[in-house]
Every structure is written in C-alpha cells, then in structure tokens.
Structure 1
Amino acid sequence: MAAITTGSAVSFARPAKASSVSSVSFAGLRKDNVAFPLQPATQRFTVLRAAKQETVDQVCNIVKKQLVLAEGTEVTGSSKFTDLGADSLDTVEIVMGLEEAFDISVEESSAQSIATVEDAAELIDKLVAAK
C-alpha cells in the first residue's frame, strides 16, 4: 500500500491494478525519451537453411514411420510436427528415432527447439559434423 499525505493527515490507498495491457511499444523512443520519426523498413532478410537435402529426406521418412502417417501424406522440410498430429510424446519418440538412425545424442534443451523437419535436420547435420 502507498501512503498518501494531505496536509497533516495520512491515508493509505491500494495501488491501482492494470485492467488489461495488450502490447507496449518503445519503437519511437530513444534513451532520452525524445520521439523521432520512424523510417520505413527497406531491407528484407533471407534465412538460409544449412541442412543437407539427404538429411531432410531421411528425417521425413523417420517422421512418417514414427507417426504412422497414411500413405501419400506429404512431409517436407517445412512440415511442423504438430501439424502432422504429433504430441509431445510423439516428438520425444521422433527424437529418439533420429538419435538411433544417425548415431547421435540430442540434448533435452536442443530437442525442445525442434518444431519442423528442417529444424531436426539442421540439428542432426550440426551434431554429425561435431563428431
């Protein structure tokens, strides 16, 4: 509680609660809190994937097998495990299958960052190269 003084009287008031905050932006402020006009974005960035195509293909096959997907179900590098119907247990089993197939060991923190086939393939290539 905060003390509020009025003349010689002191009263206590509860701090106000924020009713809802959807977002906060500091984009228009500098360190000295002076606003400046924002410049339009003129650059675009391209993310280069480092995974070998053969690794992506192997991961696709392992994912199809682990999830027992119907014949003809398309699995590509950009396929998300959740979109293919995988839950957290399925994802753990996929990672275990990848560890066995590629003779690698995936740390738990790295396994949690895998969301797509491409993510898995990149991690595999990195771990195989480090051996």
Structure 2
Amino acid sequence: MASVAGASASTQARPCQMAMAMKQVTGFTQGRSNLSFMLRPLPARLRFSCPAKPETVEKVCEIVKKQLSLDGSKTVTATTMFTELGADSLDTVEIVMGLEEEFGITMAEEKAQAIATIGQAADAIEELVKEKGN
C-alpha cells in the first residue's frame, strides 16, 4: 500500500474522477495516527470523440429515433447508448438493418454486434461507405 507521509492515490470512478490525498498529522494518541483525507477533482484524461461526420451522426440519430419510436423529448447524441434508449438486442438488429438500408451498405454480423452507441454506428457506416467507394 502507499506510504503515509505525502502519499496520494487516485481512483478512476465513473463519471467523475477523484484523487485522494493523504497527509500525516503530527501527534499520535494511544498508538493511532490521525490522517486527514481530501478529495479533489482530476482533469479528465480520456475524451470521447466520434470521427464520423456530424451529418452522418445526425442521420443515424434520426433513424434510431424512428426505429425505436422515440418522441422529440429524448435527446440522442453520438455518446448515447442504444440500451439507454430502451433498445434490446432485437431492436439493435432492426436498427442495424435500417442503417444498412438507408446507407446502402452491408455490415458483418460481428461488427454489428459490437455497436453499442450512436457514434460507433456512425463510425462503422462511414468506414463501410469508404470501403464501398474504393
């Protein structure tokens, strides 16, 4: 474990990262040490970025909303997971089929099963459209 004097440990809790700093307080009573702990936020180290074009992401969002019969009150972004929208595995298959039809592509089953977010779907679509164009 970390040494007591001036040690710090970090946790990578989601969605907020925190660091715990321990410092030794002088003066011991009955063989116990008095430690104080302070939590401070850490800057985010990982950022999610979707390399797909914004137009592709918007089109995927529209198709997902249509497939899941979502009203306008639900916010759908590149980071939105299908499960957050209430989609089960059958819904995900239907979403992929709708995307294939809309973009004129065919997605391998393994690739389709790995898609969990709108951004991942948009990235996969752009990759397949690019391959199709070559």
Q: TM-score range by the shorter chain?
A: 0.5 to 0.7
Alignment match, 1:113: 114
Q: What stretches of structure 1 of length at least 5 have no aligned partner?
A: 1-39
Bigger Rg over Cα = 1
Q: 1:58 to 1:48 in 2, by over 3 A?
A: same
Query: Which has more strand, going by share of residues?
Result: 2
2:117 pairs with 1:95: no
TM-score, normalised to structure 1's length? 0.64
CA distance in 2, matches of 1:49, 1:71: 23
CA–CA distance in structure 1, aligned partners of residues 128 and 88 of structure 2: 24
Identity of aligned residues (%): 56
Q: Which residue of 2 aligns with 1:125?
A: 126
Gaps of 5+ in 2: 1-8, 11-44
2:82 corresponds in structure 1 to: 81
One-letter amino acid of the structure 2 residue matched with residue 57 of structure 1: E
Partner secondary structure for residue 81 of structure 2: coil
RMSD, aligned CA: 2.1
Alpha-carbon distance, 1:94 to partner: 0.1
Find the aligned partners of 1:61 and 1:117 in 2 and give their Cα distance.
Answer: 10
Equivalenced residues, count: 93
Greater RCO between the two (CA within 8 Å, min separation 6)?
Answer: 1
